Amino acid sequence: MMLRSLPMFLLSFVAVTVLAQDNPTGAREPGAWPNGGTVFSGARRPAVADRMRSLRQPLSDTTVASQQDADRALVEAAERGDPRAVSDKVAAGGRPNARLSDGRTPLVAAVDSGNFEAMRLLIDAGADVNVKNGMGFTPLAMAALRGHARMAQRLLDSGAVVDVRSDDGSTPLQNAALLGRAAVIRVLVQRGARLDVRNRQGYPALIEAARGGHPAAVEALLEVGADPNTMGRDSRSALYWAVYRRDRAVADLLVKAGAEVGTLSLETLE
């Protein structure tokens, strides 16, 4: 009757005391924890208890700042195109899929740097090959803009979406055409990039190449099947833009491929 009237915490104390008296040598009993308590006393392993408490607590400002510093260091290493530094920063806690407050991401930064090994290390560390940076460009879009054909090939091998649109509405193929990246054009088309997709201005890749004045890009697009008579949303053809720019090299390529001259005057190109 006396024991039944005691509070629970006192009963636990009594149980521990009795068990200790029954085992004065200190030898561990079956079911005892390493800290001396038993399964009956309710004692927990200190390491487990501490870990459980830490998981319930929110991250401190210091922890958050430390993670931000690690992520920033990784992005900066990627921007420098420094594979050793990239590897070190990942090992130190930098996250391959981090996105800084200014929109920079490690993988897009590595592609922008042109260092293949830095990019490869990030992909192998789990970087998302379709993540966009703050400007809305994916790693593949950046490879197209910079003319990095080998990087584009590896990104596609790793799951990059070939016709993914950047935030400005352009595809990697259109980016490559606009800046005259002939080698990237061939890689993208070989991997299924569509030639007829139009950007927000209403132009497909061939017209963008002609507007940019890039004969090598125009030739590459014609070689892989671009229609020389394709029209933009404004009903202007690639040849129109070649004449407008007085670009004899581009105009000759288009006419040779079958572009219709119509009312355009090629004499102005002489």
Given this model, what pLDDT does residue 43 score?
A: 44
Indicate the average pLDDT of the chain: 85
User: Across residues 253-267, what is the average pLDDT?
Assistant: 89
Given this model, what pLDDT does residue 34 score?
A: 47
* Sign of the alpha-carbon dihedral angle for 48, 52, 55, 57: negative
CB–CB of 98/105 below 8 Å?
yes
Given this model, what pLDDT does residue 264 score?
A: 84
Q: pLDDT exceeding 70 applies to what percent of the chain?
A: 76
| Residue with tokens 């007829």, as numbered in its chain | 196
Q: pLDDT at residue 237 above 90?
A: yes
Cα separation, 15 vs 32, whole angstroms:
13
* Sign of the alpha-carbon dihedral angle for 208, 213, 219, 220: negative
More confident residue, 63 or 119: 119
User: Across residues 185-198, what is the average pLDDT?
Assistant: 97
More confident residue, 25 or 206: 206
Q: Give the range among 39-48, 79-88, 181-190, 208-217 with minimum mean pLDDT.
A: 39-48
Given this model, what pLDDT does residue 65 score?
A: 80
Given this model, what pLDDT does residue 161 score?
A: 97
Angle at 87 between CA 155 and CA 118, to 5 degrees: 35
Q: What is the DSSP string of the chain?
A: -TTTTS-HHHHHHHHHHHHHHH-TT-PPPTTB-TTS-BTTTT---HHHHHHHHHHHSPPPHHHHHHHHHHHHHHHHHHHHT-HHHHHHHHHTT--TT---TTS--HHHHHHHHT-HHHHHHHHHTT--TT---TTS--HHHHHHHHT-HHHHHHHHHTT--TTPPPTTS--HHHHHHHTT-HHHHHHHHHTT--SS---TTS--HHHHHHHHT-HHHHHHHHHTT--TT-B-TTS-BHHHHHHHTT-HHHHHHHHHTT---TT--GGGG-
Cα separation, 251 vs 54, whole angstroms:
69
pTM of this prediction?
0.75
User: Across residues 233-244, what is the average pLDDT?
Assistant: 95
Given this model, what pLDDT does residue 35 score?
A: 47
Angle at 85 between CA 118 and CA 125, to 5 degrees: 50
User: Across residues 168-182, what is the average pLDDT?
Assistant: 97
Given this model, what pLDDT does residue 18 score?
A: 38
Structure tokens at 59: 């991250």
Q: pLDDT at residue 196 above 80?
A: yes
Structure tokens at 182: 């002939």
Q: Which of 196, 106, 186 is nearest to 147 (CA)?
A: 186
232: left (phi over 0), alpha (psi -120 to 50) or beta: beta
Cα–Cα distances (Å) from 16 to 12, 25, 227, in that order, read 6, 15, 87
Given this model, what pLDDT does residue 267 score?
A: 74
Q: pLDDT exceeding 90 applies to what percent of the chain?
A: 73
Q: Which of 198, 247, 261 is nearest to 219 (CA)?
A: 247
87-117: per-residue pLDDT in tens? 999 999 999 999 999 999 999 999 999 999 9
